[in-house]
Structure 1
Amino acid sequence: MRILSEAHFPELPNYYRGKVRENYDMPDGSRIIISTDRLSAFDRIITCIPYKGQVLTQTARYWFEATKDICPNHVIEYPDPNVVVGKRLDILPVEVVVRGYLAGTTSTSILTLYKKGEREMYGIRLPDGMRDNQVLPHPIITPTSKAFDGGHDEPLTAAEIVERGLLTAEQWQTLSAYALALFARGQEMALKQGLILVDTKYEFGTDETGAIILADEIHTPDSSRYWLADSYESSFQKGERPTSFDKDFIRTWVVERCDPYKDELPEIPLELIEQTSKVYIKAFEAITAQTFVPDDSGETPVARIRANLERYFPRS
């Protein structure tokens, strides 16, 4: 298997290693972002999934190009299937999740809060009597504080965002309008592919002029929940979760065998890794209606990326 576990090039300046991405801040104000195949869960790296980095980069590319008329994004160019060169931005301290359905499993998801009896959340009131995975009266934004220091995200209302000085009223108005328009475009295009875009996360930053720019990724299988449209109605009527791109085989397998936050992780079976890789590829093809073509050029993925980034290396 051709795995991109890391992509550290000493020739490039200002290296920062994220959980999944390698980053380099260039002198010209751009940032080189390399998506590796690392799979992050339980606040640690648990394995690598072949072609995951290419799938995520190319899925985001599909959506960045399909939404650039709605909102400016950070993309400058793609020198390699795993690499995007983007504008370096000041990331805004608010994470934006847009939701179209009463769904989710995390502590901050609206379904979790709703089941606890809460009806007022994120500054929005939901009606009584809603069922799991029911479509909302209209898509809503559920913002949280962005925990840069590794802390926990905190649910916010629009008023709190402005009152705390996290964003100005004008910034919030612009950002929320962008987010809802991007989500509407995403739902419309996904439905043509037989998919429901259930909810998704957006990250925005500001450039040197103060303009709000879409950053990171958009509508990828890692940042979004998709359901198969033809499974929705029957599943909903039965009270079951609609069929989705289930990438959680490995997380589930690990949890069944240890406490992943405390214990040493068991070795992940090869067949489980291969199965997850196939799901990522299937998701790319279903979302984009394109055939996934793995780039197996170069002796290794790192060698290929090095060759494609060589023009960015400083000249001595």
Structure 2
Amino acid sequence: MNVIQQTNYNFPNQLGFYRGKVRDVYSFKDRLVMVATDRISAFDVILPRAIPYKGQVLNQIAAYFLKATADVVPNWLLDVPDPNVGVGVRCVPYAVEMVVRGYLAGHAWREYRAGERVVCGVALPEGLKENDRLPQPIITPTTKAHEGHDEDISREAILERGIVPSDEYAQLEAYSLALFQRGTDMAADQGLILVDTKYEFGKRDETIYLIDEIHTPDSSRYFYADTYPANQAAGLPQKQLSKEFVREWLIENGFQGKEGQQIPHMDDPWVNQISERYIELYEKVTGMLFDKGNTLDILNRIEKNILRSLSS
């Protein structure tokens, strides 16, 4: 099966190109073209195997939620000319990611378990268990690293270093919490709990835009609502839809992205299982059946659709 490991297009009037962990980004005077590849990353490391249909899942979930939250905050998306492509407004990105957490899970839980009671400047109460609901959603921002690891940072440090002006940061916080509430409500309609997620923002012509992806399995974690209370009461792991199962597999096989660690071998059954989990998340989160794109000549398909969009 064809997968998109990377793209290397050269479009008319193209001004720049950036290859992120998952997306290949082509910049033009006032537009960005984002190609969601099938690469998968964990612990800020790109894993060696691409995952069939992963890019399509990410792109289409992101488009679904961007359209559903356009009344909450302006967003960058203008067109989805291909299952793997978004075209939108070119913004100057803020150098922080706004991570919103409604539950103590993932990285925050690992910090808490290690004895930390203040995460990114936010105090957490004693006596919490893994996956407990927090008294209210909290924002635990990170720096946005083009290479290497994103790093936790506090609101105070962001303002002290002048990374974001105070009035604009207050707006980012308000937008993030409002988006998280909308995502929580939409997840509940599908029998899910939005556990945590991250948002990225940019600015153009004095307007703040929501950019990149939103509420996807790469940027978010979901629990199944029906099994959450019983599992939590019994101290059992939560059934979840997210990329966390990939991180857990890597940890079990001795890899957390640290220097000197070897990425474990990803065989075909495991790669296919990851693909199936991503498709499951798409269908569960959106309530729609996943329509697999034609992958016979996927790179040519994408190029033609981008050219058509840029010429319109």
Q: Do they superpose with TM above 0.5?
A: yes
Match of 1:34 in 2: 35
Assess if the C-alpha contact under 8 Å between 1:250 and 1:273 holds in 2. Answer: no
Picking from 239, 243, 255, the partner of 2:239 is 243
Q: Compared with structure 1, are the counterparts of its residues 45 and 31 closer, same or farther at alpha carbon in structure 2 (3 Å cutoff)? A: same
- Aligned residue for 1:199, secondary structure, equals strand
1:309 equivalent to 2:306? Answer yes
In structure 2, what is the Cα distance between the partners aligned to 1:263 and 1:142?
Answer: 27
Deviation at 1:99, TM superposition (A): 0.6
Deviates more, 1:161-170 or 1:280-289: 161-170
Letter in 1 for 2:162: G
In structure 1, what is the Cα distance between the partners aligned to 2:196 and 2:147?
Answer: 25
Give me the TM-score of the superposition, normalised by structure 2. Answer: 0.90
Match of 1:75 in 2: 77
Deviation string 1:145-181 (CA, Å, 9 cap, x unpaired) is 223453541321x233222211122101111000000
Assess if the C-alpha contact under 8 Å between 1:20 and 1:35 holds in 2. Answer: yes
RMSD of equivalent CA atoms: 2.3
Assess if the C-alpha contact under 8 Å between 2:218 and 2:242 holds in 1. Answer: no
Assess if the C-alpha contact under 8 Å between 1:250 and 1:268 holds in 2. Answer: no
How many residues of Structure 1 are paired with residues of Structure 2 in the alignment?
306
Q: Compared with structure 1, are the counterparts of its residues 265 and 185 closer, same or farther at alpha carbon in structure 2 (3 Å cutoff)? A: closer
In structure 2, what is the Cα distance between the partners aligned to 1:313 and 1:31?
Answer: 10
Assess if the C-alpha contact under 8 Å between 2:21 and 2:41 holds in 1. Answer: yes
Assess if the C-alpha contact under 8 Å between 2:62 and 2:216 holds in 1. Answer: yes
In structure 1, what is the Cα distance between the partners aligned to 2:294 and 2:214?
Answer: 25
Q: What stretches of structure 1 of length at least 5 have no aligned partner? A: none
In structure 1, what is the Cα distance between the partners aligned to 2:38 and 2:150?
Answer: 25
Q: Compared with structure 1, are the counterparts of its residues 59 and 214 closer, same or farther at alpha carbon in structure 2 (3 Å cutoff)? A: same
In structure 2, what is the Cα distance between the partners aligned to 1:251 and 1:122?
Answer: 22
1:268 equivalent to 2:270? Answer no
Q: Compared with structure 1, are the counterparts of its residues 277 and 164 closer, same or farther at alpha carbon in structure 2 (3 Å cutoff)? A: same
- Aligned residue for 1:47, secondary structure, equals coil
Picking from 127, 130, 140, the partner of 1:129 is 127
1:90 equivalent to 2:96? Answer no
Deviation string 1:241-285 (CA, Å, 9 cap, x unpaired) is 211126456555566567575466565221111111111000000
Assess if the C-alpha contact under 8 Å between 2:196 and 2:222 holds in 1. Answer: yes
Letter in 2 for 1:85: V
Match of 1:213 in 2: 209
Match of 1:66 in 2: 68
Q: Compared with structure 1, are the counterparts of its residues 257 and 102 closer, same or farther at alpha carbon in structure 2 (3 Å cutoff)? A: closer
Q: What stretches of structure 2 of length at least 5 have no aligned partner? A: none
Deviation at 1:64, TM superposition (A): 0.3
Letter in 1 for 2:35: I
Q: Compared with structure 1, are the counterparts of its residues 177 and 25 closer, same or farther at alpha carbon in structure 2 (3 Å cutoff)? A: same
Assess if the C-alpha contact under 8 Å between 1:35 and 1:56 holds in 2. Answer: yes
Percent identity of equivalent pairs: 42
